[in-house]
Structure formats: C-alpha cells, structure tokens
Amino acid sequence: MSQQNEGKPATTSLHAEVAALRAENAQLREQLRILERLVPDPVIELDRELRVKNFSRLVDGFSADSVKFRWLELVELPDRAKIVEMFGQVFAEHRAASVTVGARREDNGQPMRFTVHAVPGDDSEDPQSIVVLARDATEEHKLLGQLATQRAYFQAIFEQATDMILLFDDDMRCIEANPALAATLGYSAEELGSLSLPDLFPHMALADGPERWQAFLAKGSLRGTAQMRRKDSTLFDTEFRAVANIMPGVHMSITRDISAQQQAEREVAQRRAFYRAIFESVPFGLGTADRDGRPVAWNQAMLRTTGYSEAELQATQRVSDFFVDAERVRRIVTDNIEFQGRELEMRRPDGTTFPARVSLALVPLPDGAQTLAIVEDVSAEAKMRADLEFQARVLATMHEAVVVVDKDRRVEYLNDRARTLFCVVPGDIMGQGAYGQLRWRVAEPAGAGEAPADVAPGGNWSAQLVVDLPDGTERRMGVTATRRRDRSGNDNGWIAVLHDVTAEHHLADALATQSAHLEAIFEHAADMILLTGDDMRYIDVNPAAAATLGYTVEEMRALAVTDVFPPMEQATALALWQAFIAEGSQAGEVQVRRKDGTVIDVGYRAVANILPGVHLSIMRDIGERKQLEADLARSEAYYRAIFEHAPIGMGISDPSGKPVAWNAAMAQASGVSDADVRALDHAADLYATPEERERLLDLLV
C-alpha cells in the first residue's frame, strides 16, 4: 500500500468518531430541550460577555426583549455587582455557584427575589458559556422573613413575659424556662434544667400524678389553679394553662402567680364593705346612674334630701326626672359631663322645688362607667345671699391689688397683690392707718387729698396715686374706691382696687412727645407727605403736598391717587399701585397733575402698610432740578464744542498737572493724541529737555 493509502483508515475512524459525537450532542440537546420543558424555572445560556444566547421561558412580569438584551438592568442595583462577580467566578473556576438577587417586575414594579444557579456550559478548561437556572424565591424569601419575625416575636415574648413559661418533655422534665419563672421560683436557669414537674407542682408528686399527666397528654390542653413550690420550699397559688405537643414531645405551660390577686380580692371585699358603710353614713345624698341615666344605687341621705321612697326611686327611669330642667340634666348625664358644686333646682314627689348643690363625676367600673351624683339641699343658704354679694363683689373686682379699710381708714384686708406691691406683712399693717403705712399720695386730680367724705355709701371715687416703694422708686397706680355700707346702709369704710399704670403713664408721656415731633415734621416738612388707604384714596396729606399740588388739605382728602396723575397715565398709576402693594415699597420718578392742570415731575418713595391698610408716600418736586440738569447739559455741550473746534491748541490739566483734556488743534500741533496725553502723569512730560519741563512747571506754579 502507498503512503497515501496508509492514512485513510485513520481518517475514516476520525470521521466516524465525529459523527458519533454529533449524534450524541444532538441527543443531549434534545434531552436538554425536554428538561427545559419540565423545569418550571427559566434556563438561560450566557456567553463569556454575559450576553443571553438562549432562554427556555419567561417569568411573569418580564418581557423577552428585556431578558434577552437588558437582563442586568432587571436586577436591583445593589445586587448587580454580586451576580456579575458570581458569573465570572463560574467561568474562572469551572464550577457551579449560586446567589440570591432582587428584581422588580416590569409590568407593576413589584419586588421579587430569585435564587440563581450557574454551571459551566461544558467540561472544558475554557468554557465559552454558562447555563443559568433562575428560580423564583419571592414567596420563600417572604416566608423566611415571616418565620424570622415570628421567631423574634416568640423569643421576645418568652424573655419579656411577666407570666411564667415552662417547656417540658414527655418525662415531665424541664427543657427551658423563661426569666419570669426563674425569678419567681428563685432558681437559676441551670438549676431548673435538672428539675421536673413534681419538683415545681407538689400535686404532681402525689400518687395520682402519673394519671393526671397521661390525662393531660390525651386531652391536649389543661387549665386550672394549682400551688407551686419555690426554691425555699414556700408555696403560692397560681393559675395555669398547659398545651401538649406544641412540637412533638415538647409541652408548654403558662402560669401566673395569683396569690397577690387572691389577697387583693379579700382586701377588695373588705374595702367594699368599708366604702358601703361610708356611702350609707355620709350626711348628704349620694347616688349613681348608668350610661342611660337610670338610677343604680343611692344612700338614705339621698332619699331624705329628695323626698323619694325606695320604691319610687326604683321605679324611676331617669335621674333627670328629679330636676326641674330635666332635659338639660339628661344631656349632662348621657354626655358624661363632670362638674362640681353646680346649683340646680330639684323637684320633690309632691311637686315642690328646692335649690340643690350638685356635683357629678364619672366613676369607672368593670361593667362600664357610671355617673356619681352628690346632692346637698342648700335652701338654708338662700338667706345668706346678701352677705355673699359683698364677697362676690370683692372677688369680681380683684383683678389687681385690693385694700379694704374701715371708716377710720384703718386697714382690714389686703390681697396678695397688695401685700407684694406695698412690701408689707399683714400682721404689721392690720388695724393701722392706710395712708401712713402704705406710703401713697394722690397725684391726680391735682391737689386732691384723701377720698372725699361726701361720697355716699355705695358711691365710687377714682384717682391716681404715687406709691413710694422701699427701694426708693415710685409706682403710678390707678385706684377706684367704693364706699362700703353695712346692712343698715351706714358708712362702713372703703374697698380700694389698685392697678399699676406706671408703664401706661410713661408710654403716654413718650407718645405725647413723639406725637408732637411727628406732627411738627408732618406740618412743616418741605417734602410732600401723603397717607393713602387700600382704596387708593388719600386719608391725610401735609400742607406741603396740598400747596405743591394746588389743593387745600380738605380737597386732597376727597381725592384718589389716580386723580393727581395725567389722564394719559391712568394705566401707569394703577400698575404702579398694584406693584407697590405686592412688593411693600417703591421708589422712582413720575409726573403728577396739579389742580390747575399743569404737570410737574416728582421723585417719590413709598412704604405700604405702615399701619394695617395705611400706606405712606413722600414726594418731592424735582422739576427745578431736572431743568438745572438740562441747562447744565446744554452749557457743557456748548463749551465742549468751542473747546474742540478752537483753531488754536488748548489743553487742560488738573491741579497736580495731570492732563485732563486735549483738543484737536493741540493734538495736531503737538503730534500727541488726546488718549496718549491722558496717559501722562504730568503735562511737563511732553517736553523733550529738562529745561523746558522746568520752565513749564514754573509757569504752572
């Protein structure tokens, strides 16, 4: 055989091997497609640039274009680097890897979680692709979160509960106890781990203990009361609830110490009897009503006060029926209104009425709040109204210092404000003469002395006092004194109410001075001062404004702002006013029309709301100034033209010799332009020799 023929068997064998591999690859691909249809999660193939080559299916909420071309943008931003790093690790280390990432649905933005598994696309050292399985773990993630939350809740309840919680096994041995149980029984957690139920519950150590235990396991739960034993062997009463097999072989009991509760119940019973005795023994009427106003309980004093019998009270549907103004009282009771010592008219069964002092209070009770009424018959107090009127008058006028003197001007009473004002101790002043002890003197009306004797009982006298204080200062006090009278109408002294008017007195002086200053400025200012209201009408103007505009002050008060603007400037006036009100201030120049129709230029400055709804404008006639400015401009232009067009050279320097101006003839003669000469420090710099410069300087000097 030739050398060429010798290589054919090897080539044939290679082709056969390739064909077999292709068949196997096709079979594997078919199996992969079957597997992709069976797997409910998307299978994605990525190349080394992490571009999607193929994917099996879409997850609801995501589009094919996004998965194919923008899959990384679907991943939550914090997780993008993590998943890219994981894919790079699969390519580099030729082994599978997993990561959990977040994404948001494209259709509604709902967050999702995916567990992503990636494996190399082949077993070569340099795989060109990886196969990715993206499993929707959203629900699992949510459940894990809920589980962690529930675990945290349980642990918090177990650790922080004030009730005793115990976990024990099928052999009644303690598995775990919460801190409340350990603290209550006096054991440590380690000590409790070596104990069993009979060690803690003495009744479980009795002969029927095992039978009780089996009955509990069979029933699945148990509740009741039992005694527990502390580490120091003392016993105490508890109530418990036990549940079997909260987990297979794990049982739980929740126990509460009720020894204090039982003691409290005994104390409550004693207290109830005690308060019932008080309820029945007090000398004034006590009664309670439910939310609907029906009588619930009452004492014997209530029966005596109201005149009702026990049977009549029991038959009453509403306690408001006891009162003359029944509807008002019904609203008070049903609206749970509380008050103390209110005087109301009550009606007895025989139809007679009487004044009663009633207090209502809400009493919280286990079955709902009830209204407690305290009723006192105050009929006997009606005769004392006249005496109470005096006290009521004193209280009603006690807004400042109050001094009461008898008819000989001796002090009988001072309130706290008066004691502070005069710096006196009641024990040192009572019974002493008021004028000498309280160091006051009458300031107004001028020349007045003590309160005049001709003021009739019940009459008033007013004045202003100057009070000399211990620190050497003075206070100005306004005083209103009422002449007292006894029951027979005779003179019984004075009640004096004093209020501090020092600040008002100083303010009045300052205000008078300031008003005089402002009035002088307003009346004599050369500038126009105008006050305007929100309606653009003048409230007041000074004489300068009236004179400048050719009106009287009274005529100006009848005008509006637009009345002093030329007819063609009305729109401008309105626009300026609106901007002025909006911005709060304004300044500028405008033309205004005098009464004779002539128009003048004015400069103005205005401020809005110097008082609410009052706006200030200050104007000045600038016509003369503007005329002078125009004359000056014309004069300057005239002489400037002469200077520029003079046939001889002319130059001007300032006092220091620096050139200021240089006309055309001078520029032509000297060969130096106006701009160049202005750049010189001195006109002498134009001369070439020092001698010429010195000669010029001598001439200038």
Residue appearing with tokens 């580099």: 92
Whether residue 5 is predicted with pLDDT greater than 80 in this model: the reply is: no
What is the per-residue pLDDT across 75-132, written as a single tens digit (0 to 9) for each? 999 999 999 999 899 888 888 899 999 999 888 889 999 999 888 988 788 888 888 8
- Residue 697: predicted pLDDT: 55
- Residue 550: predicted pLDDT: 93
Q: Give dist(CA 279, CA 443) in Å, integer.
A: 61
Q: How many CB atoms lie within 10 A of CB 663?
A: 21
Length, in residues, of the chain: 701
Q: How many CB atoms lie within 10 A of CB 90?
A: 22
- Residue 124: predicted pLDDT: 81
Question: Which fold would CATH assign to domain 282-377?
Answer: Beta-Lactamase (3.30.450)
Q: Which CATH architecture has domain 385-506?
A: 2-Layer Sandwich (3.30)
C-alpha dihedral (505, 508, 510, 511), degrees to nearest 10: 170
Number of Cα atoms under 13 Å in the Cβ half of residue 207: 0
Domains 16-139 and 282-377 alike in fold: yes
For the chain, what are the domain ranges?
Answer: 16-139, 161-262, 282-377, 385-506, 525-626, 646-700
pLDDT level of residue 41 (50, 70, 90 thresholds): confident
Q: What is the mean pLDDT of the chain?
A: 81
Q: How many CB atoms lie within 10 A of CB 359?
A: 15
Give me the DSSP letters along 279-348.
HHHSSSEEEEE-TT--EEEE-HHHHHHH---HHHHHH-S-GGGGBSSHHHHHHHHHTT--EEEEEEEEE-
Q: Which CATH architecture has domain 16-139?
A: 2-Layer Sandwich (3.30)
Homologous superfamily of domain range 525-626: PAS domain (3.30.450.20)
Homologous superfamily of domain range 161-262: PAS domain (3.30.450.20)
pLDDT level of residue 407 (50, 70, 90 thresholds): confident
- Residue 214: predicted pLDDT: 92
Whether residue 301 is predicted with pLDDT greater than 80 in this model: the reply is: yes
